[in-house]
Structure 1
Amino acid sequence: MEFLNFGCCNLSTLLICSGVAVLGLAAFRYFAVIGRSCTSKRRLDGKVAIVTGANTGIGKETALDLAKRGARVILACRDEKKGREAVSYVKEGSGSENVVLKKLDLASLASIRTFSSEILDEEDRIDILINNAGVMLTPYCLTEDGFEMQFGTNHLGHFLLTNLLLDKIKESAPSRIVTVSSVGHYFGSLDFNDMMWSKHYGSQKSYFRSKLANVMFARELGKRLEGTGVTTYSLHPGSINTELGRHLVAGWKAIFKPILYPISWLLAKTPTQGAQTTLHCAVSEEAEGITGKYWSNCSIAKPNKLALIDEDCKKLWEYSEQQVNL
């Protein structure tokens, strides 16, 4: 009998500890991972929003939310097949037919210029530009214009796109330009003598640099647009579970999948959760009139100190102008 009581005691303790652990993990996930949500109920009827990379992940969920608010939403996508699927998804989820697909390859200056020309011809206004598209941890390769792929796509592509659309955005003020960066920008640095990594390429280092450039671009753009009614934002969306293991080779994916899945559940947001800070910057009354800041978890955050060096932000702008022939 004493043995049975001892066993029951151990079982009860185990169950209690397990319950506490589960509750603890759930609380950690809710407060530390999922974070805040965009609570604004603002309608966007009559407004036009462009979302790059809207065929998947947080871009698609961002487009869905904007469409639900009544905006005309333009999905700017490289992959037209996935783009058409995303348009159907957004239309079905929002009940809006005012959702269109436009082809845009941010790794091609020609594609960016064609896209921008069509938008300027066809649209009367641009109220919200979401620079969301990006590539991450790619092997070393170049864009068709000779830029390192991550820096060329994540920074230079959006730099050119924004500048080509800027007059229309200013005409539509008050308007907002939101650039999706990453917490990885804290680990980034610039080398103006070798921005394209002709020596010692590392996929992580390159990604971090491109994300630092996003933050610096938004800050410098905000300064240049003071008094125009256009406000700019950069942000960290959180770790999104669709990104985990993306560039593992097939064999390694099979090995690590059992490990990555529970980790992704615990430490990564869903695309809908990951879109919240983007949406907060794009529509929230709390973000109104605030420009050039870096945001995380729907709040202003302190960026990498390198992003606060005015001289380097200006230098990056001028370098980028030269690279894209502006």
Structure 2
Amino acid sequence: MLVLGFHHMVNYLSQFLLTAHLLPIMKTSGEDCRIVLVSSNAHKYASRFDVNSIHYKGDPEKFSSYQYYSKSKEHQVMQMFSMNHRLQGSNVAITSLHPGVVNTEFSRYIQERNCCWNCIGKCVWSGAFTRTPFEGAKTTIDAAVNPKWKGKGGIYFESCKEATPTAQSRNEEYQTALWRHTLELLKNHLPTDILQGLEGKNE
């Protein structure tokens, strides 16, 4: 994979791999285990889903980091739905969420080639339109420990409330295509028993 696949590898593949390795432990670790994927409402700006366009293959000069960031966040939401489907009846629940636009150093390396997007991005993350890190952590903490969400998976949260992600991210055909593509990419990094468990149910 090229460096241009950065967002996909860091935001999606790496945490999918970590989650897959932890699942066997979680399934034997108590009655209320939770996986919380910190996605973003940026997933709403992902272009039309196409499994063949997950890795950018075009002109590097035309690469949009924000568009591929949005795609990677959409993939997290889709992973949540697919994995929740496979965790039905278990002690593990998986959810995803938008933490809000948080005043961190997230925008430090924003380098969109479009000057307008650069300015907008810098302004949005400058502090006037953002949450503090404490405020930004609330939705994640709520999803992780609030008793009301015990055993409830397949939910997308915004501001500690259930919200509706995009129709595209809820498309089961797209979810299945992404799931299979992901397992193909990671098959050499997963033990056989874990891989078979992820492949086997409801395919």
The two structures have a TM-score, normalised by structure 2, of 0.79
Distance 2:174 2:110 in 1: 34
Kindly indicate whether the alpha-carbon contact (under 8 Å) linking 1:245 and 1:260 is maintained by their aligned counterparts in 2: no
Aligned to 2:56: 197
Segments of 5+ residues of structure 1 without an aligned counterpart are 1-106, 108-140
- SS at the partner of 2:89? coil
- How many residue pairs match? The answer is 175
Q: 2-side partners of 1:195 and 1:245: how far apart?
A: 23
Tell me if 1:267 matches 2:125: no
1:289 maps to 2:151: yes
Q: 1:175 to 1:193 in 2, by over 3 A?
A: same
Match of 2:9 among 152, 163, 187: 152
Deviation at residue 260 of structure 1 after TM alignment: 4.1
User: Which structure: larger Rg?
Assistant: 1
SS at match of 2:140: helix
Residue 237 of structure 1 is matched in structure 2 by: 99
Quickly say closer, same or farther: Cα 1:166–1:248, change in 2 above 3 A.
Answer: closer
Aligned partners of 1:299, 1:151: CA distance in 2, in Å?
27
Deviation readout 1:189-246 (Å, 9 max, x if unpaired): 4321121111252101100000000101011111100000110010000001114641
Residue from 185, 191, 196 that aligns with 2:43: 185
- Find the counterpart in structure 2 of residue 170 from structure 1: 27
Distance 1:201 1:267 in 2: 27
Change (3 A) 1:204 1:169: same
Question: For 2:127 and 2:89, how far apart are their aligned partners in 1?
Answer: 44
**Shift of the alpha carbon at 1:264?**
3.4
CA 1:244–1:195: 2 relative to 1, 3 Å: closer
Shift of 1:289: 2.0
Q: Secondary structure at the match of 2:157?
A: strand
Instruction: Spell out, residue by residue over 1:16-58, the C-alpha distance to the aligned partner (whole angstroms, 9 max, x if none).
Output: xxxxxxxxxxxxxxxxxxxxxxxxxxxxxxxxxxxxxxxxxxx
Counterpart residue identity of residue 216, structure 1? M
Task: Name the CA shift for 1:314/1:175 in 2 (closer, same or farther; >3 Å).
Answer: same
Correspondence for 2:166: 304
Distance (whole Å) between structure 1 residues aligned to residue 29 and residue 84 of structure 2: 16
Runs of 4+ in structure 1 deviating by more than 2 angstroms, as ranges, are 263-266
TM-score, structure 1 as length reference: 0.50
Q: RCO higher in 1 or 2 (8 Å CA, sep ≥ 6)? A: 2
Secondary structure of the 1:178 match is strand
Of the three residues 57, 60, 84, the one matched with 1:222 is 84
Which runs of 5 or more residues in structure 2 are unaligned?
A: 191-203
